[in-house]
Structures are given as C-alpha cells and as structure tokens.
C-alpha cells in the first residue's frame, strides 16, 4: 500500500543582511533534528552557489531566486521533509505565492535596525556598499518589501539572542512539529 505523504512544515526565515537568519535557522534545524523530524536547511548564500547565481543581485535576479527557493521548499515539504529556509526575500508577491502554494508555510521575519546590521556586518557588505565597492543592497539602497503577514516577527537584536529567537520560533510555530515529528 502506498501511503500519501502529508506536506511537512516550511519555516521561511527572512530578514536583511546581518539580521541573523543563518544562525537562527541553524539553531532551529538542530532542534527539529533532535525532535526526530527529517529536516533540511536551505540557506540563501549556499543556494546562490549551488545555482551558480553568486553575482546575480539585480532585482529581477533576486525575484527569480526567491521564486526558485519557494518552489524548492514546496517540493521538499511535499516529500515529507521539514524545511528551514533562510533568505533575504524582498518581494510581496513571493511571500504571497509561498503562502498560497506551500502547505504548512510559516513565515518568520527577523527585524533588525540598520545601525545594528551595519555594526554586525558579517560579510562586510555594508562596508563595501559604503565604500562604493558593492552593487545594490536591499534595505540600504534597494527596495525591500517587509513581510506584512508574517506568522512571527522577531526583533533580533539587543536583549534577543539568536538562541532566544530560535526558542521563540520553537515555542510559537514548531511545537506541533515536535509532537508529531
């Protein structure tokens, strides 16, 4: 007897560069795996390398990439994998497509003010932009649509550590996963 797979949840963690997406996503993935949930982490920077799109930063390229990530999340979720996707997603239409087409879609927005993102600057992108050595940067000199219907908005700075952000996602959005995973 062939058993139909129920789509697993997709945790779409978004925010601008320096918001802590990858760190929070890795912590959440570790919790899901520890709870026995088959889980995959899709990180925007790694996905860019896999897709050969390291230098594609124009808005139309970013829109295309975000659409690819969404479709990949839907496919993996449909095969029963819990998906944690950490990406800069700049377009309302991508958020809307994800919500309409991905069963179990959970949108998490890591909100961090510009001065804190510039202070963190883990990839030195803000410094490069300031020095005129980088192309358009979302949230600095390129339009960025913040999510308007996020399931969870986390101010990921100040007293909020990456661990406490992952804890909040776990408590608010992943508890049923742990109970069924």
> Tens of pLDDT along 96-148?
999 999 989 999 999 999 888 888 887 887 777 787 787 777 777 777 889 99
Domains recognised in the chain with CATH numbers: 10-180 (3.40.50.300)
Which of 101, 39, 110, 25 has its CA nearest to residue 66? 101
Helices (H), 42-140: 44-50, 59-78, 92-101, 114-120, 125-130
Percent above pLDDT 90 for the chain: 54
- pLDDT class for 5, splitting at 50, 70, 90? low
Mean pLDDT, the chain, as a whole number? Answer: 87
């Amino acid at each position: 007897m062939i058993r139909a797979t129920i789509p697993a949840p997709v945790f779409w963690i978004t925010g601008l560069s320096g918001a802590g997406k990858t760190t929070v996503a890795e912590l959440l993935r570790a919790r899901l795996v520890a709870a026995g949930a088959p889980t995959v982490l899709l990180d925007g920077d790694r996905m860019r390398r896999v897709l050969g799109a390291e230098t594609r930063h124009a808005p139309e390229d970013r829109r295309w990439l975000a659409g690819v990530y969404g479709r990949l999340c839907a496919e993996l979720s449909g095969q029963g994998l819990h998906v944690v996707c950490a990406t800069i997603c700049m377009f309302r239409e991508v958020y809307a497509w994800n919500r309409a087409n991905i069963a179990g879609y959970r949108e998490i927005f890591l909100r961090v003010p510009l001065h804190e993102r510039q202070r963190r600057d883990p990839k030195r992108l803000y410094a490069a932009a300031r020095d005129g050595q980088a192309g358009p940067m979302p949230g600095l000199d390129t339009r960025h649509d913040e999510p308007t219907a996020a399931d969870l908005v986390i101010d990921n700075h100040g007293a909020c550590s990456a661990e406490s952000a992952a804890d909040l996602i776990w408590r608010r959005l992943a508890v049923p996963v742990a109970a069924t995973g």
